[in-house]
Structure 1
Amino acid sequence: MASYRELLKQREALQRQIDAAREQEVAAALAKVREIINEYSLTPEQVFAQSKGKGGPKRGAKPAKYHDPTSGATWSGMGREPLWIKGQPREQFLIDR
């Protein structure tokens, strides 16, 4: 088994190899990227635009549409029905706007 000092020297040599390989691969990747950007006349805004993801930007909470006069609880009408409104006509719980 190698000694501690020998292993440290091996690690340093390996790190130098890793750094050199990374530099070469990064340079090649940048060359490809530049080639594609030039080929399609892309702008920085097009290349680095943030994608909106699924459904676009997040929206805030919906305003309350229904109100329970007994407990004061409210419900926006989205999602699962609360127990205080379940099975009853919703019109009686509507919040006047």
Structure 2
Amino acid sequence: MPTYQELLAQKAELEKQIEAARKQELADAIAKIKSLMAQYGITLADLGGKAPAKPASTKGSKVPPKYRNPATGETWTGRGRQPKWVEQALASGKKLEDLAV
């Protein structure tokens, strides 16, 4: 029975072989595609060669403030929980439109 260290060494060797095989198959596929494109006169434009669209992510993006506290100048983007000054202003009868920037 092989030892733990021998098995780890075998695993590392297999991972190298897997990566080499993947790179070779990828290179072969690209060469075949280029050959077919040349044979039939196909261009990237014919294939709709646009870069894949990145998914829209709003996480972590900065947004301009929508509301401002007239007394202190504090701002709020309108996202997330309302700040205390907004809650107090609404409780006193003001509307969000009154605090709009």
TM-score, normalised via structure 2 length: 0.46
TM-score, normalised via structure 1 length: 0.47
